[in-house]
């Protein structure tokens, strides 16, 4: 698995932008991800927008709250992209209300922190397949 802060298209595999100021997402995922996955790292909305403008990102994993905004800001930014990334929100307070909010506003799914690596791989893989197929208008139905 590659970690990067500088945009560059991957050779193959799944590309995920992780937007989290705390960095507590990555330790639970290191070593669990397939080697052909590329993770871009951003600590806030501004840095994430910069990456989104420079490279094609199929899936965003985003903390519900960020120092300079929240996941809804990235959802708005993604709406202006030709093939918008699917956004998966992560939160310690992952409840049915936040999940409903994420889905109703156009997000793909909600994951609870700490992230279960197996669930993460499954959800990201399904999101990537949906993005690749071009059917990213609707969110993930299971939860």
The pLDDT tens digits of the residues spanning 27-37 come to: 667 777 788 88
Query: Could you tell me the pTM of the whole model?
Result: 0.84
DSSP codes joined into one string, 57-89:
-SEEEEESEETTEEHHHHHHHHHTSSSPPEEEE
Domain-embedded: residue 139: no
Four-point Cα dihedral 73, 82, 129, 4, nearest 10: -60
Domain-embedded: residue 113: yes
- Structurally, how many domains does the chain consist of? 1
Domain-embedded: residue 143: no
Domain-embedded: residue 141: no
pLDDT for residue 135? 66
Domain-embedded: residue 142: no
> Dihedrals φ, ψ of 6, to 5°?
-105, 125
Domain that holds residue 101: 2-133
Residue 14's domain is classified under what CATH number? 3.40.50.2300
- Enumerate residue ranges in the chain where pLDDT < 50: 1, 3-11, 141-143
Domain-embedded: residue 19: yes
Domain-embedded: residue 75: yes
Ramachandran sector of residue 31 (left: φ over 0; alpha: ψ -120 to 50; beta: rest): left
Count CB-CB contacts under 10 A for residue 6.
8
């Amino acid at each position: 698995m590659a970690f990067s802060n500088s945009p560059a298209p991957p050779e193959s595999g799944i590309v995920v932008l992780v937007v989290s100021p705390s960095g507590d997402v990555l330790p639970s995922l290191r070593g669990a991800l397939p080697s052909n996955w590329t993770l871009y790292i951003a600590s806030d909305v501004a840095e994430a927008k910069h990456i989104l403008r420079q490279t094609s990102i199929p899936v965003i994993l985003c903390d519900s709250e960020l120092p300079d905004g929240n996941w809804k800001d990235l959802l708005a930014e993604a709406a202006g992209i030709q093939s918008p990334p699917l956004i998966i929100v992560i939160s310690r307070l992952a409840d049915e209300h936040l999940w409903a909010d994420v889905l109703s506003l156009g997000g793909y799914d909600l994951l609870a922190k700490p992230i279960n690596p197996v669930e993460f791989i499954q959800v990201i893989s399904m999101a990537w397949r949906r993005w690749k197929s071009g059917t990213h208008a609707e969110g993930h139905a299971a939860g």
